[in-house]
Amino acid sequence: MALITKKIKVTEDVLPKQSYRWQFVENIMREEAAKFGFREMRTPVFEHTELFQRGVGDTTDVVQKEMYTFDTKGGESVTLRPEGTAGAARAVLEHSLTNEGLPIKAYYFTSCYRYEKPQAGRLREFHQFGIEEYGTSSPAADAEVIALADSIFKRLQIQNLHLEINSIGCPECRAKYNDALKEFFGAHEEELCGNCKSRLERNPMRLIDCKVPSCAEIAKGAPSILDYLCEECESHFEQVKKYLETAKIEYRVNPKIVRGLDYYTKTVFEFVSDAIGSQGTVCGGGRYDGLIEELGGQHLPSLGYAMGLERLLMVMENQGIAIPEPEPCALYIAGLGDNAQVKAFELINSVRLAGLSAETDVVGRGLRAQMKYADKIGARFSMVIGDNELEENKAEVKNMTTGEKTALALDDSFAESFSALHIADKFGKTE
């Protein structure tokens, strides 16, 4: 019988045998975020389309080409979130989180949706870990969020990641820079790709990181934003570098980093890996001091970043970084007959309540098939209960590795006795 349907192209399933890898990474991210004072935020998977048009920027590729937008039955235009920052900012405003004290520190795990071309490291549904910090203009905050990302990468033992930083200035100094870019690229307009020609007037900074080879070659001679920073922006950038050096975080200045979304100001940064080809950015972010105002709030300087979880896992796999597999089933109990199966269910429940994993048959297998299943799931111990074991009120627990057997009473002491046996096997017997 043919399948009714399969997964949509450029999406992926995370299967039970893979999910432990995601959980391992996510748990480390939660732990590190907590050390830095960040707490979790969760926002809806879809928002009013206007939020992304205003927040992300209606001149960006994300808004113009990549968003999944549709009308509801009520006639509202809504969009599946293409990134996490705009929704988080909306939540800060809507719930008046500034009343709880500044800075507001939040993190999130989120699925995002963009109509991407099929290529390694890019999916139409992808997942991000994001950091948001609201209510501080201090360069120390810029260094703090970068330090959090750096601490996560160190915990994950990822090698050969390069931190690249830049400043794209404030609206005032960036306006002068945009004029210089228009003049420079205008002289090469006929050589530009179609996208860059359309961006030239509306968003000339986007021409700097165009991936079309002919445009990239032209961009090599483009003016540097660092030559156009105002005194305040230049001072801010120098302080960020000083804080990073104090934290012993290596970086290199890359004037070509502009990031793809309109809301960025001043500091922008990326952690780049050489392990996954051209899609090497595993973390990108920066400061977006005007975003809250753009969404209708009072001035609230803000900053943050997002890490792509799929790309991060690709880097770890390519570098051969081992992720601990989950603990196997501690005990499998095979029941022979209805009464024995009820007893087996009672015992595995007591073992689970004691904090260990345990399983019994819920399919209706025979003994041989049950033991085969116990071996397949890697059960550390197994036990068979039949009429004789029920009558004697005891059964033998078998160590599946050594073959050693230990008799345990099938009463209220069973879970405690088995837990002691499991600990002795796992950590070594003591005299």
CATH code, domain carrying 307: 3.30.930.10
Task: Tell me if 101 sits within 8 A of 145, measured CB to CB.
Answer: no
**Which strands form 331-335's sheet, in the order they lie side by side?**
358-360, 331-335, 381-385, 394-399, 405-409
Co-location of 265 and 376 in the same domain: no
292 is a domain residue = yes
pTM as predicted: 0.90
The residue among 291, 318, 345 that closes a domain is 318
Co-location of 101 and 242 in the same domain: yes
Say what the pLDDT of residue 430 is: 42
Co-location of 312 and 418 in the same domain: no
Task: Tell me if 39 sits within 8 A of 131, measured CB to CB.
Answer: no
How far is 384 from 410, CA to CA, in rounded Å?
12
Say what the pLDDT of residue 83 is: 94
The number of domains in the chain is 2
> Domain holding 413: CATH number?
3.40.50.800
179 is a domain residue = no
Give the burial string for 55-88 (b: 16+ CB within 10 Å, else e). Answer: bbbeebbbbeebbeeeeeeeeeebbbbbbbbbbb
Co-location of 421 and 303 in the same domain: no
Co-location of 371 and 257 in the same domain: no
182 is a domain residue = no
Co-location of 166 and 73 in the same domain: yes
Co-location of 156 and 257 in the same domain: yes
The residue among 318, 352, 377 that closes a domain is 318
Co-location of 88 and 131 in the same domain: yes
224 is a domain residue = no
Co-location of 88 and 164 in the same domain: yes
298 is a domain residue = yes
Say what the pLDDT of residue 199 is: 85
How far is 290 from 249, CA to CA, in rounded Å?
27
Residue range of the domain that includes 379: 331-425
Query: pLDDT (tens digit, 0 to 9) for every residue of the chain, 431 residues total?
Result: 788 999 998 999 999 999 999 999 999 999 999 999 999 999 999 999 999 998 887 767 788 789 999 999 999 999 999 999 999 999 999 999 999 999 999 999 999 999 977 666 679 999 999 999 999 999 999 999 999 999 999 999 999 999 999 999 998 998 999 999 999 999 999 999 988 998 898 889 888 888 899 999 999 999 999 999 999 999 999 999 999 999 999 999 999 898 766 678 999 999 998 876 656 899 999 999 999 999 999 999 999 999 999 999 999 999 999 999 999 999 999 999 999 999 999 999 999 999 999 999 999 999 999 999 999 999 999 999 999 999 999 999 999 999 999 999 999 999 999 999 999 998 875 43
Co-location of 252 and 371 in the same domain: no
Co-location of 313 and 397 in the same domain: no
6 is a domain residue = no
How far is 415 from 421, CA to CA, in rounded Å?
10
Task: Tell me if 282 sits within 8 A of 161, measured CB to CB.
Answer: yes
414 is a domain residue = yes
The residue among 318, 342, 364 that closes a domain is 318
82 is a domain residue = yes
Co-location of 313 and 341 in the same domain: no
